[in-house]
């Protein structure tokens, strides 16, 4: 029998890695990843003593299950020469495939919640799998503060925390979220690249990066370097490039960008100043940034 690989998106986050590991474990598949672990994910794997999945460089000739993504721009190289057999995701759907496949999508806070729900008994029997999915849910929902978080995410996370032996899941969530928020020792390019996604909006290539911080002053003080870095990214072939500095305590996002300011004003109703706008209450790329930009660039 051919091996089946479970893979998350490019620039993987905790959901992409942990959902791949858990789903692969439940099904007898092989978890793999595209690219380096971020600090938050490394912390979660270390905490539950789970090794990182191997990197898969190319989808050529492979059977794949895609978790936490369904857009071609976020898939592995040569995915079009792979056989995708299943997708499990919670992002907007931009997927067109030549043969019938299993496609499971829900408008909830985390792919990990979907996997936990579908396999609840098996996950509850394994504290490590429960801990990994709990980490994914706390990460993606920003400890349930994100507008993407649902009651179901919270209810499942609460059950998983009990199984995983995490007594205070909010405290564990804060410990997790502060790992990526630490900008010390990282260049601006590294910070932008660590959670960066490509989108195709009506044939236009748009890039959107995000960092979630607990105190935004430090990152905002790097505004000049951020804009320079977005500028050089844009020159590599983007119509526009965005970077969200999201303060998870204040619950708002400073959105830096390089591209047409009129489109940005149209998208958010705020006049940009110095290549940036501030968006109070905005925390989610997929729910509060992507839809506006896709419409404005459409």
Judged by the rule CB under 5 A, the positions of this chain that interact with Mg ion are 13, 15-16, 68, 111, 140
Distance in Å, CB of 289 to Mg ion, minimum:
11
Distance in Å, CB of 29 to Mg ion, minimum:
19
Could you give the strand order of the β-sheet that contains 83-89, starting from the edge strand earlier in sequence?
54-55, 30-33, 4-7, 63-67, 83-89, 102-105
- Choose between 6 and 272: whose C-beta lies nearer to Mg ion: 6
Distance in Å, CB of 176 to Mg ion, minimum:
13
Distance in Å, CB of 109 to Mg ion, minimum:
8
For residues 29 and 50, give the distance between their C-alpha atoms in angstroms, rounded to a whole number. Answer: 16
Taken as a whole, the chain contains a residue count of 298
- Choose between 92 and 266: whose C-beta lies nearer to Mg ion: 92
Distance in Å, CB of 9 to Mg ion, minimum:
6
- Choose between 25 and 74: whose C-beta lies nearer to Mg ion: 74
For residues 47 and 139, give the distance between their C-alpha atoms in angstroms, rounded to a whole number. Answer: 14
- In this structure, what token pair is assigned to residue 253? 């996002």
Q: What is the DSSP string of 17-80?
A: HHHHHHHHHHHT-EEEESSPPPHHHHHHHHHTT-PPPEE----TT-EEEEES---GGGSPTTGG
Tokens 């419409």 found at: 295
- Choose between 12 and 272: whose C-beta lies nearer to Mg ion: 12
Sign of CA dihedral 200, 201, 206, 207: negative
b/e per residue 66-88 (b: at least 16 CB within 10 A): bbbbbbeebbbeebeebebbbbb
Q: Residue number with the shortest CB distance to Mg ion?
A: 15
- Choose between 144 and 272: whose C-beta lies nearer to Mg ion: 144
Distance in Å, CB of 13 to Mg ion, minimum:
4
């Amino acid at each position: 029998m051919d091996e089946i690989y479970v893979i998350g998106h490019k620039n993987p986050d905790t959901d992409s890695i942990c959902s791949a590991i858990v789903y692969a474990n439940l099904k007898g598949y092989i978890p793999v990843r595209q690219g380096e672990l971020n600090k938050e994910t490394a912390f979660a794997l270390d905490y539950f003593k789970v090794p990182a999945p191997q990197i898969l460089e190319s989808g050529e000739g492979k059977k794949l299950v895609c978790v936490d993504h369904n857009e071609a721009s976020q898939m592995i190289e040569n995915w079009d020469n792979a056989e995708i057999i299943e997708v499990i995701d919670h992002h907007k759907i931009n997927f067109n495939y030549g043969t019938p496949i299993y496609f499971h999508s829900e408008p909830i806070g985390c792919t990990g919640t979907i996997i936990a729900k579908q396999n609840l008994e098996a996950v509850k029997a394994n504290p490590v799998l429960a801990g990994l999915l709990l980490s994914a849910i706390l990460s993606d929902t920003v400890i349930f503060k994100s507008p993407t978080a649902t009651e179901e995410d919270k209810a499942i996370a609460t059950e998983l925390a009990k199984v995983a032996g995490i007594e205070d899941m909010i405290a564990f969530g804060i410990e997790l979220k502060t790992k990526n928020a630490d900008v010390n020792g990282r260049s601006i390019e590294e910070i932008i690249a660590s959670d960066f996604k490509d989108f195709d909006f009506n044939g236009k290539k748009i890039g959107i990066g995000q960092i979630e911080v607990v105190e935004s002053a430090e990152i905002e003080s790097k505004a000049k370097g951020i804009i320079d870095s977005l500028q050089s990214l844009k020159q590599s072939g983007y119509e526009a490039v965005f970077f969200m500095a999201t303060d998870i305590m204040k619950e708002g996002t400073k959105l830096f960008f390089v591209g047409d300011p009129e489109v940005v004003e149209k998208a958010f109703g705020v006049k940009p100043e110095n290549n940036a706008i501030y968006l109070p209450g905005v925390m989610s790329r997929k729910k509060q940034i992507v839809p506006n930009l896709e419409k404005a660039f459409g």
